[in-house]
């Protein structure tokens, strides 16, 4: 289990990175935290001709927090995002989901943006990008562009980005007013990729009635999706909403797969259970905010 | 007086180097060695139609490529059937490199040697092997159906039918007041030591001798195998097991193809060659264990006393049988556990499948045996509406029944006669420790929290310390240092400490003066190996005997010098002294010097022993029948195995929404006779329990129908992290073995044996459905509870009538 | 911008600047073990799961099998060999967690041990030694490493033991 030969560059600027990516062509790959890429290289399941290591590119390692949302730079490690209280205040899903990503030593190296660029449907952060209606900023030789999450994820481990491109940041919009979130997952071992994970956002109206309910799942389906579950509980007072009904609705909307760790049916069961549980939690959080207003 | 170190929790001596990164494991040796890598079969069953190495030849750094055609003499023969047995009528082994047909994914076909492992893998990747695929057999049921054969000349796929019976089962069953029959399965797991296998070989071109380091549990036998296969004289081969990063059984198998091929290449190339197995190789080309189908019929009376037991096991032995039928025999003979089974018949059919070979993994057939017996007890209790503990108690062998002869023949060819034990004592302690009688209260309390709680128990008896023998050598040097060696190997069991404790106690020397070497054929050439919880029993006793021999000689020499009777002397803190007469003494190191009459003085100590300083000219310098030096070599060869025992109980809580299984309490009572070092024994128990939990809830080798291992990585083969291992409470009992001088029994494997049985029992108790396949994961539990076909336990029906959940 | 197949790197390893010329594909674990001769760092899986290869890069635990050697150019690496401190009398003082592992019998074969020691040492160094050590903290420190021998009970015990020693030292 040793990587096949490749060429290596560690550009000092974004422009240089793009230049090397352009020059090296199709077989070149960006190396960020390496926590997904290196196992693939060692198992020789991937054999890029060139690795373009972006770790020395300045300016990519900050988390910017505004009222609108959180911008996470390409070199922000999971550990840093997990510890960022300002980010957690604006978009609590970030820390809640990141806490479920791997173990600390992996989080010390792996990046949030790398997770998203890797487009693994069993990664937590792809779902969070979707659920928050986020987008990434991509540097290309023809200039930066923004790609909405819907346009980004094409298939498992596959994005719409082609040719020389570096994702420089991911933007996670702020949690709307009168909203609460929760994230939960079931994994075989603590720290493993989830058998099934669920992130939810519940938004109330001024009368503490359910206005909007959205959920996104981990390890369910080929690409992250967002499911609107509002119809199951729309208009219900937050304290008497039937979260089980929302869970039941969710079960009908998802299309999970069977693998060696779980059957599709079991995943569907978990979608229902985790939806019900997270919604109750998120709703309580939202309700507390409305009461506090 | 030297504190008696035997029985004390002495801190481990090997730790000093291991905690600072100065251990010496296989891949730490020979940093400049050439590296080997292998082309391995991607198919489970295929005929090799061509091997094209052309594309690899221009890889810079390539040194050599070997295929079957390069093997000559004994190397071209099939690998040995290590443990032949008359009932193993169709033994089959592969070749060091596949000759024409590959029979499991991972079988080695080509060996590449290059300047380093990266380059070796580059070259291996370019070698093109073409195949004609053959039909694949996966799983015991498919093997039994025999629609396809793994070996064409074994059309029914049966390697061996192992059969034992203690009487005529059928009439007794027919006459039994009650009988029940059931079928259950247990899946494959594996030893999975954190360090894989590995071999380093160095050929001394001038001396024409070979030194091999290998991460093995049996260095002396690897040495013999290498000498035989490579046509070398035994004295030209030395084999050393360096620090070994865990074994758990897989490293007892030998010679692995790599253990022969790497030395072969080292000789051919006149260079150092090394192969350090990577994790993927370990998954697909070492060994697994545990898959069985068990069909059980038991006769019993209205009190739950067993009248007869009839068991038929289908045992998956994988593609080859290099390790014979040891695992089937152990399952067959250990199944009876701590119980009186008036008539017992067992047949284990060991069958071929197109999967990795099956050889002992810690427990070695015993977890399956325990699963069969203990689940039978649970079923009887359920049928009769009795407490599961009560049914067990009624069947236990009583303390006054020892030695207890089961009329069976064990894996060492010796009778299964339990030497000592107190099984009712274990039960009392276990029930107390786990709170067996308070379980109903816990169940209600958990139900109030919306959880299903269940409790289960399992007992086992473990034959440990089988022969044929081990040896020990103890030598006192003139410096006072005491060298101790034994041939068997260590993989973390703390032998350097335990054996030093034994010598310190027997000889009366400070432990700091003792140096222990294991698994090095340069130091001790005769040994069997480390398996079957035998190291402490076998080498421990051999070393004790060797130390006693040294002591005797030391007393004899000192008696001469001090002009007293040897029986008036004692040795303490390295000083031989006249009992009760302080001052009348001679240091043991001086005795060592005097024991070797010298002509030449090379240092101050030696001067004391030269010919003009030693007197008594009435005797020859070395007395008749004596030998120079204060050393002794001795062997311990037991009449038969000694039988350790224990009882485990688990309490589980199950979330009825997600079917996640949480072990909330795990209790262990164990009895391994006299204990050399309780700290080490407890460590063995903890480690064993973690593997037991892994085997019950997390670990399994998932083969698809094409024989591809679906989870050949640590990502998907779920060995427990600390988060998955419950806290374990332990209680002890000691019934010394009458069979050996130290009164000890083995402790290495015990912890893992009852895990699957106890946890299955607890889950069944919690959900009220029969658990008949282990391991079990939440997704399977979910399938089970909602399946209309799954069988409810009688206990749960009764509880349901009383309005209790599940 | 150079695109290379080999590189010469300078790394401060256990406080000592070291130089090595390595193929760019060389894993940090292999470079430490085979180029720098620091074989205390072990390799158990080479895909990030077992943690045996964990070393500290600029003080933080990372998997050395999931980094390229070239990536630590200019950085500081601490391996298990670097946990003990100079006692300024020509000897070494073990890190409290090393002492604790021996005292609590937290290792058997010792293969996983270096990864645990580096991870736990970093975890203990980062916390306020005066604060009470919680079970969650312990779980976090040991939770990402596999051990096949010990069943973890004594490893957790050792973390508590080491923390207590560090608390005493801090007084
Ligand atoms: C043992 C283990 C357990 C894990 N468990 C989890 C888990 O539970 N949940 C989870 O989500 N993840 C898990 N991971 C993966 C981890 O979170 C990774 O950090 C993450 O998936 C990828 O981030 P990275 O920075 O390491 O990316 P890399 O490995 O460097 O790259 C991954 C891919 O993304 C591309 N890429 C990365 N960054 C960019 C960029 N800025 N622009 C363009 N392309 C880019 C690379 O070219 C590559 O194809 C685990 C990893 C390991 C080893
Ligand atoms: S070897 Fe690096 S995590 Fe296992
Ligand atoms: S001590 Fe052997 S793997 Fe941990």
Q: Left if phi > 0, otherwise alpha if psi is -120 to 50, otherwise beta: which for B410?
A: beta
Cβ separation B280–A1 shorter than 8 A: yes
**Closest Cα in chain A, distance from residue C32 (Å):** 15
User: Which residue from C116, C144, C150 has its CB within 8 A of the most atoms of ligand 3, so it is best to mutate?
Assistant: C150
Average pLDDT over residues B613-617: 66
Which residue of A190, A270, A273 is in closest CB contact with B723? A190
Cβ separation A42–C54 shorter than 8 A: no
pLDDT value of residue B532? 67
Cβ separation A39–C5 shorter than 8 A: no
pLDDT beyond 70 at B283: yes
| pLDDT per residue as tens digits for the range C99-140 | 999 999 999 999 999 999 999 999 999 999 999 999 999 999
Question: What's the pLDDT band for A89 if we cut at 50, 70, 90?
Answer: very high
Give yes or no for a contact between C167 and C132, defined as CB atoms under 8 angstroms apart: no
Give yes or no for a contact between C154 and B683, defined as CB atoms under 8 angstroms apart: yes
Q: State the chains in contact with A (3 or more Cβ–Cβ pairs under 8 Å).
A: B, C
Facing residues of B515 across strands? Answer: B483
pLDDT value of residue B491? 87
Cis peptide before B608 (omega within 30 of 0): no
Cβ separation A109–C63 shorter than 8 A: yes
Domain end, chosen from C82, C109, C128, is at C82
Cβ separation C148–B15 shorter than 8 A: no
The total of structural domains in chain C comes to: 2
Question: What's the pLDDT band for B2 if we cut at 50, 70, 90?
Answer: very low
| pLDDT per residue as tens digits for the range B502-524 | 999 999 999 999 999 999 999 98
Same structural domain for residues C73 and C89?
A: no
* Mutate: best of A46, A243, A266, A273, partner B, most B CBs <10 A: A266
pLDDT value of residue B615? 61
Which residue of B24, B491, B721 is in closest CB contact with C109? B491
Ligand 2 pocket, C45 CB below 6 A?
yes
H helix count then E strand count, chain A? 12, 14
| pLDDT per residue as tens digits for the range A38-83 | 999 999 999 999 999 999 999 999 999 999 999 999 999 999 999 9
| pLDDT per residue as tens digits for the range B340-382 | 999 999 999 999 999 999 999 999 999 999 999 999 999 999 9
Ligand 3 pocket, C109 CB below 6 A?
yes
- Look up the CATH number of domain A1-173: 3.30.465.10
Average pLDDT over residues A261-276: 98
pLDDT value of residue B613? 65
Atom 50, ligand 1: residue with shortest CA distance: A102
pLDDT beyond 80 at B440: yes
A125 CA: nearest ligand 1 atom:
11
Question: What's the pLDDT band for B666 if we cut at 50, 70, 90?
Answer: very high
Same structural domain for residues C59 and C96?
A: no
Domain CATH number, residue C52? 3.10.20.30
pLDDT value of residue B803? 61
SS (HEC) of B265-276: HHHHHCCCEEEE
- Give the number of other CB atoms < 10 A from CB of residue C90: 6
pLDDT beyond 60 at A266: yes
Same structural domain for residues C65 and C94?
A: no
Same structural domain for residues C101 and C68?
A: no
Same structural domain for residues C92 and C78?
A: no
Facing residues of A138 across strands? Answer: A145, A167
Helix, strand, coil content of chain C in percent (nearest 5)? 40, 20, 40
- Rounded-to-integer distance, Cα B205 and Cα B512, Å: 39
pLDDT value of residue B747? 83
Check if the interface score ipTM surpasses 0.95: yes
- Rounded-to-integer distance, Cα A48 and Cα A70, Å: 32
B261 SS3 class: helix
Lowest-confidence pick of A73-77, B541-545, B618-622, C108-112: B618-622
Interface residues of chain A, partner chain C, Cβ below 8 Å: 1-11, 16, 19-20, 23-24, 31, 34-35, 38-39, 41-43, 50-51, 53, 55, 79, 102-106, 108-109, 190-191
A150 SS3 class: helix
pLDDT value of residue B493? 84
- Range C127-153 burial, b when 16+ CB lie within 10 A, else e: eebeeebeeebbbebbbbbbbbbbbbb
User: Which residue from A24, A36, A101, A116 has its CB within 8 A of the most atoms of ligand 1, so it is best to mutate?
Assistant: A36
Q: Which residue has the tokens 């051999």?
A: B542
Same structural domain for residues C52 and C101?
A: no
Each of the 171 residues of chain C gets a pLDDT tens digit; together they read 789 999 999 999 999 999 999 999 999 999 999 999 999 999 999 999 999 999 999 999 999 999 999 999 999 999 999 999 888 888 889 999 999 999 999 999 999 999 999 999 999 999 999 999 999 999 999 999 999 999 999 999 999 999 999 999 887
pLDDT value of residue B391? 98
- Rounded-to-integer distance, Cα B61 and Cα B114, Å: 6
Same structural domain for residues C7 and C59?
A: yes
Q: Where are the domains of chain A?
A: 1-173, 179-292
Domain end, chosen from C82, C103, C125, is at C82
pLDDT value of residue B606? 73
B243 burial type by CB count under 10 A (0-12 exposed, 13-18 middle, 19+ buried)? buried
Residue in C with minimal Cα distance to B493? C108
DSSP code of residue B493: S
- Rounded-to-integer distance, Cα C108 and Cα B748, Å: 12
pLDDT value of residue B561? 87
Which residue of A2, A188, A269 is in closest CB contact with B121? A2
Rounded distance from Cα A111 to ligand 1 centre (Å): 6
pLDDT value of residue B392? 98
Percentage of residues in chain A with pLDDT exceeding 70?
Answer: 99
Cβ separation B783–A263 shorter than 8 A: yes
Residue in C with minimal Cα distance to A16? C1
Rounded distance from Cα B246 to ligand 3 centre (Å): 7
- Rounded-to-integer distance, Cα B210 and Cα B189, Å: 35
Rounded distance from Cα C119 to ligand 3 centre (Å): 15
Atom 3, ligand 1: residue with shortest CA distance: A102
Question: What's the pLDDT band for B602 if we cut at 50, 70, 90?
Answer: confident
Ligand 2 pocket, C81 CB below 6 A?
no
Average pLDDT over residues B760-781: 97
User: Which residue from A3, A11, A26, A30 has its CB within 8 A of the most atoms of ligand 1, so it is best to mutate?
Assistant: A30
Which residue of B18, B680, B722 is in closest CB contact with C152? B722
Ligand 1 pocket, A283 CB below 6 A?
no
Rounded distance from Cα B667 to ligand 1 centre (Å): 40
* Mutate: best of C7, C27, C62, C138, partner A, most A CBs <10 A: C62
pLDDT value of residue B715? 96
- Superfamily (CATH) of domain A179-292: CO dehydrogenase flavoprotein, C-terminal domain (3.30.390.50)
**Closest Cα in chain C, distance from residue B717 (Å):** 11
Same structural domain for residues C110 and C162?
A: yes
Name every residue whose Cβ is closer than 8 Å to that of residue C132 and which is 6 or more positions away in sequence: none
- Rounded-to-integer distance, Cα B162 and Cα B558, Å: 56
Q: State the chains in contact with B (3 or more Cβ–Cβ pairs under 8 Å).
A: A, C
Ligand 3 pocket, C45 CB below 6 A?
no
- Range B59-73 burial, b when 16+ CB lie within 10 A, else e: beebbbbbbbebbee
Domain end, chosen from C49, C82, C115, is at C82
Q: Give the number of whichever ligand sits closest to the CA of residue C29.
A: 2
Question: What's the pLDDT band for B647 if we cut at 50, 70, 90?
Answer: very high
Average pLDDT over residues A34-40: 98
Give yes or no for a contact between B295 and B194, defined as CB atoms under 8 angstroms apart: no
Structural domain including C118 reads: 85-170
Average pLDDT over residues B236-246: 96
| pLDDT per residue as tens digits for the range B709-736 | 999 999 999 999 999 999 999 999 999 9
Domain CATH number, residue C165? 1.10.150.120
Same structural domain for residues C76 and C106?
A: no
Q: Which residue has the tokens 């494959």?
A: B188
Which residues of chain C are within 8 Å of residue B11 when distances are taken between CB atoms? Answer: 102-103, 105
Rounded distance from Cα A260 to ligand 1 centre (Å): 22
Which residues of chain C are within 8 Å of residue A20 when distances are taken between CB atoms? Answer: 1, 3
Ligand 1 pocket, C48 CB below 6 A?
yes
Q: Left if phi > 0, otherwise alpha if psi is -120 to 50, otherwise beta: which for B385?
A: left
Question: What's the pLDDT band for B806 if we cut at 50, 70, 90?
Answer: very low
User: Which residue from C65, C80, C112 has its CB within 8 A of the most atoms of ligand 2, so it is best to mutate?
Assistant: C65
**Closest Cα in chain B, distance from residue C101 (Å):** 8
Rounded distance from Cα C42 to ligand 1 centre (Å): 23
Residue B723 forms contact with C (CB below 8 Å):
yes
Average pLDDT over residues B543-572: 93
- Rounded-to-integer distance, Cα B720 and Cα C145, Å: 10
Set out the domains of chain B in order of their start, with CATH numbers: 32-134+191-285 (3.90.1170.50), 292-466+639-801 (3.30.365.10), 470-636 (3.30.365.10)
pLDDT value of residue C5? 95
**Closest Cα in chain A, distance from residue C12 (Å):** 18
Same structural domain for residues C107 and C73?
A: no
Ligand 2 pocket, C61 CB below 6 A?
no
Which residue of C38, C105, C117 is in closest CB contact with B683? C105
| pLDDT per residue as tens digits for the range A164-184 | 999 999 999 999 999 999 999
Give yes or no for a contact between A190 and C143, defined as CB atoms under 8 angstroms apart: yes
Percentage of residues in chain B with pLDDT exceeding 70?
Answer: 98
Same structural domain for residues C74 and C136?
A: no
Q: Which residue has the tokens 């290869």?
A: C53
- Rounded-to-integer distance, Cα B129 and Cα B135, Å: 19
Closest CA to C111 of C65, C157, C42, C161: C42
Q: Give the number of whichever ligand sits closest to the CA of residue B691.
A: 3
Same structural domain for residues C62 and C120?
A: no
**What is the reported pTM?**
0.96
| pLDDT per residue as tens digits for the range A219-254 | 999 999 999 999 999 999 999 999 999 999 999 999
Sign of CA dihedral B255, B193, B325, B538: positive
* Mutate: best of A3, A8, A193, partner C, most C CBs <10 A: A8
């Amino acid at each position: 289990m040793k990587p096949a030969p490749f060429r290596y560059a560690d550009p000092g600027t974004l422009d240089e990175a793009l230049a090397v990516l352009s020059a090296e062509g199709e077989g070149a790959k960006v190396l960020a935290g390496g926590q997904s890429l290196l196992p693939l290289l060692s198992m020789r399941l991937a054999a890029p001709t060139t690795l373009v290591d972006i770790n020395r590119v300045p300016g990519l390692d900050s988390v910017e927090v505004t009222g609108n949302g959180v911008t996470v730079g390409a070199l922000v490690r999971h550990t840093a995002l997990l510890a960022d209280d300002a980010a957690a205040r604006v978009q609590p899903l970030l820390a809640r989901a990141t806490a479920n990503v791997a173990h600390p030593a992996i989080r010390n190296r792996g990046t949030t943006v790398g997770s998203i660029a890797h487009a693994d449907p069993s990664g937590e952060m792809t779902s969070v990008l979707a659920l928050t209606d986020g987008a990434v900023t991509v540097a290309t030789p023809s200039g930066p562009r923004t790609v909405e999450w819907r346009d980004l994820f094409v298939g498992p481990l596959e994005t719409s980005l082609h040719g020389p491109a570096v994702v420089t940041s991911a933007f996670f919009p702020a949690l709307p007013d009168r909203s609460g979130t929760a994230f939960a997952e079931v994994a075989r071992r603590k720290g493993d990729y989830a058998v099934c994970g669920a992130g939810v956002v519940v938004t109330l109206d001024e009368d503490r009635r359910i206005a909007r309910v959205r959920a996104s799942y981990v390890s369910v389906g080929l690409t992250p999706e967002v499911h609107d579950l509002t119809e199951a509980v729309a208009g219900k007072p937050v304290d008497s909403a039937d979260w089980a009904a929302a869970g039941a609705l969710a079960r009908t909307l998802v299309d999970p797969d069977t693998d060696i760790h779980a059957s599709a049916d079991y995943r569907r069961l978990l979608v229902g259970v985790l939806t019900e549980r997270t919604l109750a939690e998120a709703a309580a959080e939202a309700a507390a905010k409305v009461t506090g207003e | 007086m030297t504190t008696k170190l035997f029985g004390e929790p002495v801190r481990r001596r090997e730790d000093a180097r291991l905690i600072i990164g100065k251990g010496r494991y296989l891949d730490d040796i020979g940093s400049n060695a050439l590296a080997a890598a292998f082309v391995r079969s991607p198919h489970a069953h295929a005929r090799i139609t061509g091997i094209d190495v052309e594309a690899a030849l221009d890889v810079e750094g390539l040194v050599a490529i070997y295929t079957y055609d390069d093997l000559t003499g004994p190397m071209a023969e099939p690998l040995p059937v290590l443990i032949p047995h008359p009932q193993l009528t169709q033994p089959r082994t592969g070749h060091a490199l596949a000759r024409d047909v590959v029979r499991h994914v991972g079988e080695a076909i080509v060996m590449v040697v290059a300047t380093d492992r990266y380059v070796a893998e580059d070259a291996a990747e370019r070698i093109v092997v073409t195949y004609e695929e053959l039909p694949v057999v996966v799983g015991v049921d498919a093997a039994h159906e025999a629609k396809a054969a793994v070996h064409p000349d074994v059309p029914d796929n049966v390697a061996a039918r192992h059969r034992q019976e203690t009487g005529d089962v059928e009439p007794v069953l027919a006459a039994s007041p009650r009988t029940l029959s059931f079928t259950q399965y247990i899946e494959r797991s594996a030893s999975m030591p954190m360090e894989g296998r590995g071999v380093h070989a160095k050929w001394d071109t001038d001396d024409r001798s070979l030194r091999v380091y290998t991460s093995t549990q049996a260095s002396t036998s690897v040495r013999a195998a290498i000498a035989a296969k490579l046509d070398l004289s035994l004295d030209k081969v030395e084999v050393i097991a360096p620090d070994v990063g865990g074994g758990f059984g897989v490293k007892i198998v030998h010679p692995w193809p790599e253990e022969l091929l790497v030395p072969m290449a080292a000789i051919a190339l006149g260079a150092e060659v090394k192969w350090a197995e990577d994790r993927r190789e370990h998954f697909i080309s070492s060994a697994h264990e545990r898959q069985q189908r068990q069909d059980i019929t038991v006769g019993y009376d209205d009190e739950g006393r067993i009248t007869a037991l009839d068991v038929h096991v289908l045992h998956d032995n994988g593609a080859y049988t290099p390790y014979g039928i040891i695992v089937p025999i152990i399952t067959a003979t250990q199944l009876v556990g701590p119980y009186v089974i008036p008539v017992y018949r067992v047949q284990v059919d060991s069958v071929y499948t197109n999967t990795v070979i099956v050889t002992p993994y810690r427990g070695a057939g015993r977890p399956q045996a325990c699963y069969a017996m203990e689940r039978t007890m649970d079923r009887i209790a359920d049928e009769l509406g009795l407490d599961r503990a009560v049914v067990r108690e009624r069947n236990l062998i009583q303390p006054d029944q020892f030695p207890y002869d089961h009329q069976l023949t064990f894996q060492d060819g010796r009778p299964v006669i339990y030497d000592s034990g107190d099984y009712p004592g274990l039960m009392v302690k276990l029930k107390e420790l786990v709170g067996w009688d308070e379980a109903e209260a816990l169940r209600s309390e958990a139900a109030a929290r919306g959880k299903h709680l269940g409790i289960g128990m399992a007992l086992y008896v473990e034959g440990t310390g089988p022969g044929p023998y081990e040896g020990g050598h103890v030598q006192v040097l003139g410096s006072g240092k005491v060298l101790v060696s034994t041939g068997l190997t260590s993989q973390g069991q703390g032998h350097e400490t335990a054996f030093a404790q034994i010598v310190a106690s027997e000889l009366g020397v400070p432990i700091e003066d003792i140096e222990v070497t294991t698994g090095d054929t340069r130091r001790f050439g005769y040994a069997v190996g480390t398996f079957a919880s035998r190291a402490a029993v076998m080498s421990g006793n051999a070393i004790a005997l060797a130390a006693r021999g040294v002591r005797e000689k030391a007393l004899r020499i000192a008696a001469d010098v001090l002009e007293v009777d040897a029986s008036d002397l004692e040795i303490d803190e390295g000083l031989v002294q006249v009992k009760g007469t302080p001052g009348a003494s001679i240091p043991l190191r001086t005795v060592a010097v005097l024991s070797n009459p010298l002509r030449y003085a090379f240092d101050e100590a030696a001067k004391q022993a030269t010919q003009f300083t030693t007197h008594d000219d009435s005797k020859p310098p070395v007395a008749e029948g004596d030998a120079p030096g204060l050393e002794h070599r001795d062997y311990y060869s037991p009449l038969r195995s000694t039988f350790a025992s224990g009882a485990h109980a688990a309490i589980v809580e199950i979330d009825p929404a997600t079917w996640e299984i949480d072990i909330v309490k795990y209790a262990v009572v164990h009895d391994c006779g006299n204990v050399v070092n309780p700290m080490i024994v407890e460590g063995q128990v903890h480690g064993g329990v973690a593997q037991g939990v892994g085997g019950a809830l997390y670990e399994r080798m998932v083969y698809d129908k094409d024989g591809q291992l679906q989870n050949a990585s640590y990502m998907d083969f779920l060995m427990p992290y600390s988060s998955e291992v419950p806290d374990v409470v332990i209680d002890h009992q000691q019934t010394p073995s009458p069979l050996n001088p130290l009164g000890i029994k083995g402790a290495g494997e015990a912890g893992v044996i009852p895990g699957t049985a106890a946890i299955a029992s607890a889950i069944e108790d919690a959900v009220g459905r029969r658990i008949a396949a282990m391991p079990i994961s939440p997704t399977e539990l979910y399938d089970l509870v909602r399946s209309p076909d799954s069988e409810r336990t009688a206990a749960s029906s009764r509880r349901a009538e009383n309005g209790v959940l599940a | 911008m150079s695109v290379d197949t080999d590189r010469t790197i300078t790394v401060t390893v256990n406080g000592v600047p070291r130089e090595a010329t390595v193929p760019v594909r060389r894993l940090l674990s292999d470079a430490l073990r085979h180029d720098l001769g620091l074989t205390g760092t072990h390799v158990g899986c080479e895909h990030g799961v077992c943690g045996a290869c964990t070393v500290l890069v600029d003080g933080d635990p990372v998997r050395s099998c999931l980094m390229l050697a070239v990536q630590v150019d200019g950085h500081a690496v601490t391996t298990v060999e670097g946990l003990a401190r100079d006692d300024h009398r020509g000897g070494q003082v073990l890190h409290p967690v090393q002492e604790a592992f021996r005292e609590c019998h937290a290792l058997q074969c010792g293969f996983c041990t270096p990864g645990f020691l580096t991870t736990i040492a970093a975890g203990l160094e980062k916390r306020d030694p005066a604060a009470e050590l919680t079970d969650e903290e312990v779980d976090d420190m040991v939770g990402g490493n596999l051990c096949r021998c010990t069943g973890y009970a004594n490893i957790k015990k050792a973390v508590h033991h080491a923390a207590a020693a560090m608390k005493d030292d801090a007084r």
